[in-house]
């Protein structure tokens, strides 16, 4: 399906590598950041993100840009801090988040950096797809949450908030002409 996809990459060297490796056969790779997409509003039927928002210092800005350039659907597949750790840790994180104390704890936990660096994931910020649900719900007519991780004992299709460390958010705009 050539020409169907457009990829955004902020690092120029990686854009050049994608071109050399033939990644552009299915569509162009554009050098840009998620916080400032160089596309007109509602210029794409669907906009997707796969496991990159937890690497962004300002994931809200990225999500707002995704919603701006999307016409029919936005798919966000990323981490969920509330579904990670022991049950006690999950509940504590949720309570701290709801009482607006999570940022202060995260600031202390990361030594003021706001991020951690791990061997497997590199630089990562504390992020949950639930952080983005406010603007997503305002934009979409229908939002579906699908857990992407968790074993059979903890997975729950109805409440992935505390049972899945990864979630796919499917935000859909219905065809308003058919209403």
Angstrom distance (rounded) from CA 123 to CA 147: 23
CATH code of the domain in which 77 resides: 3.40.50.150
> Is 89 contained in some domain?
no
> Is 75 contained in some domain?
yes
> Is 150 contained in some domain?
yes
- At residue 54, φ and ψ (nearest 5 deg) are -75, -5
3-state SS of the chain is CCCCCCEEECCHHHHHHHHHCCHHHHCCEEECECCECCCCCCCEEEEEEECCHHHCCCHHHHHHHHHHHEEEEEEEEEEEHHHCCCHHHHHHHHHHHHCCCHHHHHHHHCCCCCEEEECCCEEEECCEHHHHHHHHHHHCCEEEEEECCCCCCCCCCCCCCCCCCEEEEEEECCCHHHC
Beta partners for 172? 73, 142
* Residue 64 confidence (pLDDT) above 70: yes
pLDDT cut 70: percent of the chain above it: 91
Q: What average pLDDT is seen over the chain?
A: 90
Tens digits of per-residue pLDDT, 28-62? Answer: 899 999 999 999 999 999 999 999 999 999 999 99
Residue 164 · residue 155 · CB < 8 Å: yes
Give the other-Cβ count within 10 Å of 151's Cβ. 7
Beta partners for 73? 46, 172
- Number of folded domains in the chain? 1
**pTM for the full predicted model:** 0.88
Segment 79-97 shows an average pLDDT of 93
Angstrom distance (rounded) from CA 22 to CA 32: 19
> Is 23 contained in some domain?
no
Length of the chain: 179
Supply the pLDDT for residue 150. 67
> Is 48 contained in some domain?
yes
Domain that holds residue 148: 33-84+124-178
> Is 167 contained in some domain?
yes
Angstrom distance (rounded) from CA 44 to CA 140: 15
> Is 16 contained in some domain?
no
Segment 107-131 shows an average pLDDT of 94
Contacts with 163 (C-beta within 8 Å, 6 or more apart), sequence order: 83, 147, 150, 154, 155, 156
> Is 139 contained in some domain?
yes
Supply the pLDDT for residue 26. 77
Segment 70-82 shows an average pLDDT of 96
């Amino acid at each position: 399906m050539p020409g169907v996809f457009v990829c955004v990459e902020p690092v120029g060297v990686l854009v050049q590598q994608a071109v050399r490796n033939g990644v552009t056969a299915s569509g162009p790779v554009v050098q840009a950041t998620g916080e400032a997409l160089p596309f007109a509003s509602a210029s794409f039927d669907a906009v997707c993100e796969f496991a990159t928002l937890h690497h962004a210092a300002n994931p809200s800005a990225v999500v707002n840009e995704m919603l701006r350039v999307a016409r029919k659907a936005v798919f966000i597949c990323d981490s969920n801090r509330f579904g990670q750790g022991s049950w006690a840790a999950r509940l504590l994180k949720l309570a701290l988040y709801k009482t607006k104390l999570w940022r202060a704890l995260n600031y202390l936990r990361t030594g003021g950096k706001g991020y951690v660096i791990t061997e497997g994931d590199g630089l990562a910020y504390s992020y949950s797809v639930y952080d983005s649900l406010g603007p997503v719900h305002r934009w979409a007519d229908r939002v579906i949450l699908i857990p992407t991780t968790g074993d059979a004992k903890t997975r729950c299709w109805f409440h992935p908030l505390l049972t899945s460390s990864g979630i796919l958010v499917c935000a859909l705009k219905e065809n308003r002409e058919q209403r």
